[in-house]
């Protein structure tokens, strides 16, 4: 079935056609109909399968058809991070391009004046992180008393970030009778409990590829590389695929800046994204990465859910994640929609326990690429980094770590 055959507004058909949407993905095919009918939906789908459009398309159609006109919030979309709020807002605005549906994004990290102005002008759909939304509601700028649709997206991350009480509080502020849409990339006992506490008695449950939480469009490989040698292997990968777009995940913000410095030494231009950056800097970084001005982004797991960039060719797990489910969210940044992508992981000796946890979570082993001794040494020698005095490097790293820690303490 093609989108042009759906019973949705012509304005939406026009915009999604321009976006290149021809046929719905599995989650879109299964979710759009029930949402249009007003059903509560519990959707479990892999990252990158098009679940944002799965609820954005029917919500926008319903608001176009809504006979209850007026300047009040009709739909509330809650998200765990600022980056994700920005990405979801972009999708909603692109789909609503030829409609009169007003969409407002509320998030912290930036001034509130522009957001207050947007609310005053009028908002049909509010896409928000809980903190800023509560701030503006307490100041009297947002009224949730007539909300008809509530969406919890990336609900597993909402749970991780401790937003359960916020969600319960929000439910008290919106009408008792409303439509609830609950979407998550992963499912476990806690998420099930949260889901069934907020959706109606008989929600439509949609679960895509439950046996494999990772998109089939992503190929996976892992190599055993010692911690101090990872930068040389990253350098080689990047230089052997100079036209590719790389998203490199590290465990901490200190590590992000250290890898950035290592790449600078070998004349590879990169960007970093982590919690120490101001919101304006983070937006600038995302714009440069999205536009292709710089094709390598080094990020912490803070950014795993908020990066929705077309044509990411490689996700590099420079450090394996502490939480197995974060592996899924990381690699979900590539192989999105119908496109293919590569997930490459480096595993040091001290990370083998993390690898076991990840493979247990996935239910299968990640393909191992064995590196013989000759190739390993060749990769170290391949590097353009002339500074191979290990003791000097360790001292530099210690100094760098101390300077970062001081900066963090000052903030």
What domain range is 92 assigned to? 3-207
Domain match, 350 and 287 both: yes
What is the model's pLDDT at position 313?
A: 93
pLDDT, averaged per 10 consecutive residues of the chain (411 residues), comes to 89 93 90 94 80 94 82 90 87 95 91 91 92 89 92 80 79 89 80 76 75 74 95 95 94 93 94 80 86 92 65 94 86 78 95 94 90 91 66 51 53 50
Domain match, 47 and 10 both: yes
- Say which residue the tokens 């996700």 belong to: 315
Residue 271: C-alpha distances to residues 10, 258, 308, 344 (Å) = 40, 12, 16, 19
Domain match, 95 and 190 both: yes
Domain match, 203 and 232 both: no
Answer yes or no: are the C-beta atoms of 183 and 45 closer than 8 Å.
yes
Which residue, of 207, 233, 248, is where some domain finishes? 207
Residue 198 is part of a domain; what is its CATH number? 3.40.50.300
What is the model's pLDDT at position 390?
A: 44
CA distance 36 to 14: 19
What strand order describes the sheet that includes 179-184? Answer: 103-106, 125-128, 75-78, 149-152, 179-184, 41-44, 204-207
H or E segment and range at residue 342? strand 341-347
Q: Residue 326, exposed/middle/buried by CB under 10 A (0-12, 13-18, 19+)?
A: buried
CA distance 227 to 348: 5
Domain match, 136 and 266 both: no
Domain match, 405 and 384 both: yes
* Beta carbons within 8 Å of 221's beta carbon, 6+ residues apart: 342, 343, 344, 345, 366, 367, 368, 369
Q: pTM above the 0.75 mark?
A: no
Residue 213 in any domain: the answer is no
Which residue, of 207, 238, 269, is where some domain finishes? 207
Residue 146 in any domain: the answer is yes
Domain match, 248 and 185 both: no
Domain match, 347 and 246 both: yes
Domain match, 336 and 400 both: yes
Residue 212 in any domain: the answer is no
- What's the number of domains the chain is made of? 2
Domain match, 104 and 249 both: no
Domain match, 185 and 281 both: no
3 state DSSP class of 338: coil
Answer yes or no: are the C-beta atoms of 322 and 272 closer than 8 Å.
no
What is the model's pLDDT at position 146?
A: 92
Answer yes or no: are the C-beta atoms of 76 and 151 closer than 8 Å.
yes
CA distance 217 to 306: 20
Residue 381 in any domain: the answer is yes
Rg over CA atoms, the chain: 22
Q: Residue 394, exposed/middle/buried by CB under 10 A (0-12, 13-18, 19+)?
A: exposed
Quick one: DSSP state of residue 348? -
Which residue, of 207, 226, 260, is where some domain finishes? 207
Domain match, 233 and 335 both: yes
What is the model's pLDDT at position 354?
A: 96
């Amino acid at each position: 079935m093609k989108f042009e055959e759906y019973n949705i507004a012509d304005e939406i058909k026009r915009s999604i056609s321009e976006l290149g949407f021809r046929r719905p993905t599995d989650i879109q095919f299964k979710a759009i109909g029930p949402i249009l009918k007003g059903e509560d939906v519990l959707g479990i789908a892999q990252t990158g399968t098009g679940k944002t459009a799965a609820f954005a398309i029917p919500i926008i159609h319903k608001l176009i058809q809504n006979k209850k006109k007026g300047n009040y919030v009709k739909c509330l979309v809650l998200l765990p991070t600022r980056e994700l709020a920005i990405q979801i807002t972009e999708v909603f605005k692109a789909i609503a391009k030829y409609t009169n549906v007003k969409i407002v994004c509320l998030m912290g990290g930036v001034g509130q004046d522009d957001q207050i102005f947007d609310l005053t002008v009028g908002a049909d759909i509010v896409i928000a992180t809980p903190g800023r939304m509560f701030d503006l509601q307490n100041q009297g700028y947002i009224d949730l008393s007539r909300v008809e649709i509530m969406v919890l997206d990336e609900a597993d991350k909402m749970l991780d970030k401790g937003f359960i009480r916020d969600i319960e509080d929000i439910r008290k502020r919106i009408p008792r009778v409303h439509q609830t849409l609950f979407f998550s990339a992963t499912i476990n006992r806690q998420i099930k409990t949260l889901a069934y506490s907020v959706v109606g008695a008989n929600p439509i449950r949609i679960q895509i590829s439950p046996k494999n939480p990772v998109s089939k469009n992503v190929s996976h490989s892992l190599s055993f590389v010692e911690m101090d040698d990872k930068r040389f292997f990253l350098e080689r990968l990047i230089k052997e695929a100079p036209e590719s777009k790389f998203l490199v995940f590290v465990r901490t913000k200190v590590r992000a800046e250290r890898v950035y410095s290592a790449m600078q030494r070998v004349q590879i231009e990169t960007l970093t994204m982590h919690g120490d950056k101001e919101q304006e800097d983070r937006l600038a970084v995302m714009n440069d990465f999205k536009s292709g001005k710089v094709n390598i982004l080094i990020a912490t797991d803070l950014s795993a859910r908020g990066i929705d960039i077309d044509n990411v060719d490689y996700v590099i797990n420079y450090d394996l994640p502490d939480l197995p489910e974060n592996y899924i969210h990381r690699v979900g940044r590539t192989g999105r929609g119908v496109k293919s992508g590569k997930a490459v992981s480096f595993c040091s000796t001290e990370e083998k326990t993390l690898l076991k946890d990840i493979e247990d979570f996935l239910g299968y082993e990640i393909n191992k690429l064995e590196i013989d001794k000759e190739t390993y040494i060749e990769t170290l020698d391949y590097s353009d980094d002339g500074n191979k005095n290990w003791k000097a490097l360790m001292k530099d790293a210690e100094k760098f770590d101390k300077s970062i820690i001081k900066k963090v303490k000052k903030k």
